[in-house]
Amino acid sequence: MRRFIILMVLFLSIFCLTGCRKDKEKVLAENMKKIHLTGNLVTYQAYYHNVLEYDKKAGSGITHLFEEDRKLFAEYTGTIKFGINLSKVKIKTSGREVNVFIPKATVIGSPNVDKDDFIEENFIESREGINKNPITADDSAAAFDKAQAEMMENASKDEELLSKAQERAKVIIEENIKQFSGLNQKDYSVNWEYEQ
Amino acid sequence: MKNENGPINYKLWIPLLLIFITLFVIFFTRLNKEGQIKMKVKSTLEKVVEKSDLETVTITYNVIAKKCKDEENCDQKSNNISDFQYVVSCKGSIVAGIDFQKIKVDVDEKDKKVIVKVPDATIIDEPNIHSIKFLNGNELSASELPNARKLCQETVKEKSELDQKLIPAAKEQSRVVLEEFYNQWIKAYDSSYRVVIE
């Protein structure tokens, strides 16, 4: 009789543990499906203070006689956002493991360069010919466009900031998983895969 | 059960007692909820700041620095390069920081808002100069390079301190991350609330 009771207790314990384990896996899998990942997640906004070099070519025609090519320099400021496309994040569960794929961070939207930095007074000029080859509104607009393009190019190549933005995305998603999991952190593990 | 004025009216007292207990429970549950959210926001804040490296931000700070021909008689505002001994384009960076110990968290129960107040950023340390380019066309002698580097350092420091957009931008940088973090976080914690970063 005593042996029978011990066997019953053991059987029930094993049965309960297996049941609990399966329940936790099910809970985790179901809760992970509740995480909705759409749109862009901005994780870094960088501020830049830059120097622009702009070549102003001499004009053609009688009014531009004796003009010389000039080099113009201007300081400008702007901000640019980095982040990830949430729809590219993949969250999959396997037992009590959560496998997460984080896409590479990219520049989100266009750079926001301050147009007021390109007024005539802000340009530092190289030299003037007999005919001045003055800075016009078109030059200001072209310099602004160049600054926008330059900032975009530099930011897209800035591996340090891109990696920081990706890491911050991980922190946010990790917290999301923690909140939605419905389990104690000890009951599951998260594996991270980063797009290089 | 009787008292001096007659029997106790249970029909009146029991409902009143029940109402009182209900109000008491509602009041303390609400109070507790406010405290809970506040505490939870603060504890997750520490984690997100630490993991996201939010306390400091390195800012690219490139400037144009002008070396006067005659220090006594020099117009720094002149835009003509030939008015100066040399003009250099300096590639530099500065580090700004936010003291996250000074962050305040408030809960507005009425409007269902969690308000996180971020303190102002400050510039930390001396600027770093990474490279120098002379804009006059001619390269200067090697002996002038340390002076030009020093000039760059001083100019970056001076301009960054006067830069009205820098501090708000450094603060904005933290705001963007905290807002994204808490918007995701509150959805799972209690979607009836929204988080406002100020």
pLDDT 10s digits, B57-82: 889 999 999 998 888 888 888 888 88
Q: Which tops the pLDDT comparison, B196 or B53?
A: B196
CB atoms B79 and A164 under 8 Å: no
CA atoms within 13 A on the CB side of B147: 12
Residue A29 lies in a domain: yes
Give me the residue from A83, A173, A175 closest to B44, CB to CB. A175
How far apart (Å, rounded) are the C-alpha atoms in residues B66 and B79? Answer: 10
CB atoms B63 and A46 under 8 Å: no
For CA atoms B178, B183, B189, B192, the dihedral sign is: positive
**Mean residue pLDDT across chain B:** 82
**Is residue B17's pLDDT more than 90?**
no
Residue A20 lies in a domain: no
Around Cβ A71, how many Cβ atoms within 10 Å? 15
pLDDT digits (tens, 9 = 90+) for A138-195: 888 999 999 999 999 999 999 989 999 999 899 888 888 888 888 888 899 999 999 9
CB atoms B169 and A47 under 8 Å: yes
Domain ranges, residue A163: 25-194
ipTM of this complex: 0.75
Return the pLDDT at B198. Answer: 83
Residue A31 lies in a domain: yes
CB atoms B180 and A171 under 8 Å: no
Residue A128 lies in a domain: yes
Domain segments of chain B: what residues? Answer: 2-197
- Chain A residue closest in CA terms to B172: A45
The distance of A60 to chain B (nearest Cα, Å) reads: 24
List of chain B residues whose C-beta atoms are within 8 Å of the C-beta of residue A167: 51-53
Using beta carbons and an 8 Å cutoff, which residues of A are at the interface with B? 41-51, 53, 71, 73, 75, 77, 79, 81, 83, 114, 121-128, 164, 167-168, 171-173, 175-176, 179-180
List the single best residue of B78, B173, B182, B183 to mutate versus A (max A Cβ within 10 A): B173
- The bridge status of strand A97-102 relative to strand A90-94 is antiparallel
Q: Are B61 and B156 in contact (CB under 8 A)?
A: yes
Return the pLDDT at A89. Answer: 94
List of chain B residues whose C-beta atoms are within 8 Å of the C-beta of residue A176: 184-185, 188
Q: Which residue has the tokens 């980063």?
A: A194
Residue A13 lies in a domain: no
Q: Are A40 and A169 in contact (CB under 8 A)?
A: no
- Chain A residue closest in CA terms to B170: A47
Q: Are A113 and A152 in contact (CB under 8 A)?
A: no
Give me the residue from B60, B81, B172 closest to A49, CB to CB. B60
- Chain A residue closest in CA terms to B41: A175
Q: Which tops the pLDDT comparison, A27 or B13?
A: A27
Complete DSSP assignment for B29-85? HHHHHHHHHHHHHHHHHHHHHHHHT-SEEEEEE-EEEEEES-TTS--TT--BGGGEE
CB atoms A48 and B60 under 8 Å: yes
CB atoms A50 and B180 under 8 Å: no
pTM, two decimal places:
0.76
Tell me the count of A-B CB pairs closer than 8 A.
107
- How many domains does chain A fold into? 1
Strand partners, A93: A98
CB atoms B79 and A121 under 8 Å: yes
The distance of A14 to chain B (nearest Cα, Å) reads: 34
| Least confident piece of the model among A107-111, B156-160, B192-196 | B192-196
The distance of A2 to chain B (nearest Cα, Å) reads: 49
List of chain A residues whose C-beta atoms are within 8 Å of the C-beta of residue B167: none
Query: What are the per-10-residue average pLDDT scores of chain A (196 residues)?
Result: 66 54 81 85 91 81 69 92 94 92 95 91 73 77 93 93 92 85 87 93
For CA atoms B89, B66, A53, A107, the dihedral sign is: positive
